[in-house]
Amino acid sequence: MPTLRINIVLFGIGNVGSTLINQVLQAQDFFLQQKNIELRFPIITNSTLAFFEKEGVKNQWEANFAQSAIPFRIEDIIEYVQDLDLDNLIAVDATASEDIIKNYIPLVQAGFHIVAANKKANTLHYDFYKELRSNLKRFDRKFLYETNVGAGLPVINTIKNLFDAGEEITQIRGVFSGTLSYLFNRFGEEDVPFATLLKEAEQLGYTEPDSREDLSGNDVARKLLILARELGSNAEFSAVKIESLFIPELATNLTLKEYRSQQRLFNKPFQIAKITQADNHVLRYVGNWNRSTDTLEVQLISVPRNSPLGQLKGADNLIEIYTESYGKQPIIIQGAGAGKAVTARGVLSDIIQIADTLVYKEQLLQDWVA
């Protein structure tokens, strides 16, 4: 069978998107030899501009984008691939934007599969969630998003496989934020003020540019909701009970500069929480979903130091999956839950999963014709 060309339209060339391109370029020979596929990027976009490349991505793609990118609409992209009669189409969303999500359904209807690092599509109103899946089924397209939870960790696939096999998943609990894992892992082991650790995390690039995004708990809540919906919950984001890590003095509309200048105010309440725990306990910021009540909670809790959550190090994520078959002993998935390299590799893994399916279908077609 001749080499199958997979045409990828990439939305977003920030940390994850640019790393993904470089990973693909480095592994092209491997994909050609081992899987008989060529991954091509005919279109690369940022939030406002698109670079249309007829001959595929070259190693100087950054310079080409800077010189030749033009304003675009989603209709331009659909028209472009149709005019060139491109097939085996995958749209990759490496943004954090809600704008691109509005175009998922038109892209599916135009023949695109979708791979998303962006969590927003799976946490919007449940009506949209259902409509998107209805269109995916109607047009026989795939939508993969393993990196929505745990970056490169196989969390979503594990849960889907268990659920599809008829397993009764009773509870999911874990540390879903690499940023907050780093903060509380160090806070539990070191005699250092919380604000000092927060500033260090900001300087290391572990937090969002505005660390209030991490401390709000919204990111953890989104990940928890995504997993609950995989298991049949129709909960809305508004139903998640979120214990924010803000304190009243910092919960106002401060500028970023004002907020950073007053981070010392975190020290006293977190130190009190630390010293008032039971012996040999540590603080962890945990998301928890209970199937029997369909309740979703995100909160700071105290756990035994020798428990799996209590033994976390670095910026690792740890997810506990409780099932009927395994009883009180959960399935534990642990590892790096953040970082551009692991996230990009997770996106690439989803791309290859779709590509493998396309290769299989092409082989079946050729065998049938023969």
CA distances from 260 to 5, 126, 181, 196, 322 (A): 49, 36, 20, 11, 39
Residue 100, number of CB atoms within 10 A of its CB = 22
Pairing of strands 331-336, 316-323: antiparallel
Per-residue tokens: 277: 């725990």
Task: Return the SS3 of 52.
Answer: strand
CB 144 within 8 A of CB 354: yes
Residue 311, number of CB atoms within 10 A of its CB = 15
User: Which contacts qualify for 308-313: CB closer than 8 Å, 24 or more apart?
Assistant: 308/332, 308/334, 309/174, 309/175, 309/284, 310/188, 310/281, 310/282, 310/284, 312/175, 312/181, 312/185, 312/284, 313/185
CA distances from 106 to 75, 115, 116 (A): 9, 15, 15
CA angle 180–186–189, rounded 5-degree value = 140
Residues with active-site annotation: 223
Q: Give CA–CA dist 30/38, Å, rounded.
A: 10
Per-residue tokens: 15: 């940390």
Task: Return the SS3 of 126.
Answer: helix
